[in-house]
Each structure stands twice: as structure tokens, then as C-alpha cells.
């Protein structure tokens, strides 16, 4: 997809851009979604590699050590810090393949979910959290989704500021 070569400059004092850096800058300046496309392509390759490892055979390869056969793809939308990624997750005929890249029903990147929960615990309103996520990654989580995430966090971390404020009696 992208042909990028890395070459070292002959001197350490040179300020010229390396070819890879120039190619990336050019890609991002002409295509603002370039970073998202790069992340999507890398994650897609990782999914394919995971499937090959699970089956102990590459796509189309016929060997005796093969543990199963591919059976198409299903689409999965994953919300990340770089935006929504549309991925094609490979399936095997036996239905045993499960990627380690994300959990079975996970729709959002774990770091993003942890950040949402941390904002909520620190007292940021669900409306502000929704606005921030919409601005940063082009996807807004509903107030109920943010509350659900934070409730899970508060059960695991009961000494949080919000958890403590709810247990205090008002005088």
C-alpha cells in the first residue's frame, strides 16, 4: 500500500527530512484521515497474522500441520483515539478463532474507555465527556455508556472521589 524507505543521512548535523518522514508528512497533509488509514491497515494485518498463527497455515496454504480452515470475515467497527476503524475480522470454519487484538464484544479501544472513566471519576460531567470524545475521535459515547463505564470503575476502585462523594451524608 505504502512504499516508504528509510535511509540514514550521511551526517548527523543534516537537517533534511528522511524520505519516510517526508512521505508521512505528505500523506497526512493531503489526507487528514491518513493516520486512521495507517492504523486500520496495521490492525488488519495483525488480524490476518493472528488467524494464520491460530491455523498454523497461511491463507491458501495446504500443509498437514494445518489446524483448520478460514471461513470468510465479519465486519467490526472499533472506536479508537484516531477515529472509527472498520475492520474485517477473519473467521475459521470451526468458530474457535478469537482475536487477542480486542475482546469479543469490545467496540472501543481500552485506553479510550479508561480515559472516559477517569474523566467521569474526576468530576467531569457526562455532557463534557461526550463533547470531548466527539471532538477527539469523531464518536460520542452516550451519557448512559459513560455512566456504565464509570460504575464498573467505581466497583473496582471504591476510593475514587466520586464514589466517596456519594457515600457522604449531607448536613
- Residue 116 has a pLDDT of 74
> What is the pLDDT, as a whole number, of residue 14?
46
Give the global pTM: 0.56
- So what's the pLDDT on residue 153? 65
**pLDDT attached to residue 167:** 41
Intra-chain end-to-end CA distance of the chain, in Å: 65
Residue pointed to by grid coordinates 493516520: 35
What pLDDT does 44 receive? 92
Domain coordinates in residue numbering, the chain = 16-107, 109-171
SS3 content of the chain, % helix, strand, coil (to 5): 45, 15, 40
Per-residue pLDDT of the chain (171 residues; tens, 9 = 90+): 444 444 444 444 444 546 767 766 776 677 767 778 888 888 999 999 999 999 999 999 999 999 999 999 999 998 887 888 999 999 999 999 998 887 766 777 777 777 777 787 788 887 887 787 777 667 777 777 777 777 776 676 555 455 444 443 334
Amino acid at each position: 500500500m505504502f512504499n516508504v524507505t528509510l535511509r540514514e543521512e550521511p551526517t548527523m548535523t543534516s537537517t533534511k527530512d528522511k524520505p519516510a518522514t517526508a512521505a508521512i508528512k505528505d500523506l497526512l497533509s493531503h489526507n487528514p484521515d491518513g493516520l486512521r488509514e495507517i492504523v486500520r491497515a496495521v490492525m488488519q494485518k495483525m488480524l490476518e497474522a493472528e488467524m494464520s498463527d491460530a491455523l498454523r497455515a497461511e491463507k491458501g496454504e495446504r500443509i498437514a500441520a494445518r489446524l483448520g480452515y478460514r471461513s470468510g470475515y465479519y465486519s467490526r467497527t472499533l472506536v479508537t483515539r484516531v477515529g472509527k476503524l472498520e475492520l474485517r475480522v477473519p473467521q475459521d470454519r470451526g468458530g474457535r478463532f478469537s482475536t487477542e487484538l480486542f475482546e469479543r464484544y469490545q467496540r472501543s479501544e481500552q485506553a479510550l474507555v479508561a480515559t472516559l472513566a477517569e474523566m467521569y471519576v474526576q468530576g467531569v460531567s457526562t455532557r463534557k465527556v461526550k463533547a470531548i470524545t466527539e471532538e477527539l475521535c469523531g464518536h460520542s459515547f452516550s451519557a448512559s455508556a459513560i455512566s456504565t463505564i464509570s460504575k464498573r470503575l467505581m466497583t473496582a476502585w471504591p476510593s475514587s472521589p466520586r464514589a466517596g462523594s456519594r457515600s457522604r451524608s449531607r448536613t
